[in-house]
Amino acid sequence: MNKYLVLVNPWNKWNDNLDFKIIDVNSRYALNRMAEEKTYLAFKSFQAYALKYGYDIEIESGYRSVDYQVKVFDNCAQKKGLEYAKKYVATPGYSEHHTGLALDICLKKDDKFFIEHNLPEDFKVFLKDNAFKFGFIVRYPIGKEDITGYNAEPWHLRYVGSLAEDIYKNNLTLEEYLEKQIVKSGYCYQL
Ligand SMILES: [Zn+2]
């Protein structure tokens, strides 16, 4: 099993045994950002490519430890209540950001950073149609919420390597892609 296809979602807990190399990244958006090494190198190539099309992209959030996610979750639950936190913050241990392979992308425009729901529509389309060239998929697409377990997040990219093109061109989520592979290979294994 290719470790870059690891599945972490509300039904599959992150198991920190894949030995990903997590490195510091130089993000202009905020200090102390980290990501898996190959993921970051792929991002740097995508960043240079995007700039040619007028999009100055940056990493808003990358690797997050389980401890950090506990703090984010508790903080949100305290401020807005447990139900709200459960809906909008990944349960610690079940966030794809624990792998280091997930990057939330922001856009710098006129000395200002645009994040998440404030990102322009044309940029979301650009991410969707170009990220695969660098090994990324948009992990939580619109209309596949029941399959991924998350609301659509056009800014959340997931590094999967060279299989990204296949996943993108067949309009699949990682869940659907992995299921297809299992059916094809004719046996089941623990994802
Ligand atoms: Zn994210």
| pLDDT tens column, 68-86 | 999 999 999 999 999 998 8
Distance from the Cα of residue 18 to its chain's centroid: 17
C-alpha closest to that of 137 among 153, 110, 123, 158: 158
165 has catalytic annotation? no
Ligand 1 geometric centre to CA of 103 (Å): 6
pLDDT at 189 over 70: no
Using one digit for the tens of pLDDT, what is the confidence trace for 39-58? 999 999 999 999 999 999 99
Residues 6+ apart with CB under 8 A from 97: 61, 62, 63, 64, 69, 90
- Structure tokens given for 176: 């659907």
Ligand 1 geometric centre to CA of 93 (Å): 14
Pairing state between β 56-61 and 102-109: antiparallel
Q: How far apart are CA 177 and CA 6, in angstroms?
A: 12
At residue 16, the pLDDT reads: 85
CA distances from 17 to 70, 93, 98, 188 (A): 20, 13, 12, 20
Considering the segment(s) 3-185 as one domain, its CATH architecture is 2-Layer Sandwich (3.30)
pLDDT band at 181; cut points 50, 70, 90:
confident
Give the residue extent of every domain in the chain.
3-185
Q: Which residues surround ligand 1, an ion (CB under 5 A)?
A: 104, 156
Ligand 1 geometric centre to CA of 145 (Å): 14
Instruction: Exactly one of 58, 60, 96, 153 is catalytic; name it.
Output: 153
3-state secondary structure the chain: CCHHHCCCECCECCCCCCCCCEEEECCCCCCCEEEEHHHHHHHHHHHHHHHHCCCEEEEEECCCCHHHHHHHHHHHHHHHCHHHHHHHCCCCCCCHHHHCCEEEEEEEECCEEECHHHCCHHHHHHHHHHHHHHCEEEEECCCCHHHHCCCCEEEEEEECHHHHHHHHHCCCCHHHHHHHHHHHHCCCCCC
The pLDDT mean for the chain works out to 93
What is the length of the chain?
A: 191
pLDDT band at 190; cut points 50, 70, 90:
very low
Ligand 1 geometric centre to CA of 61 (Å): 7
Ligand 1 geometric centre to CA of 89 (Å): 10
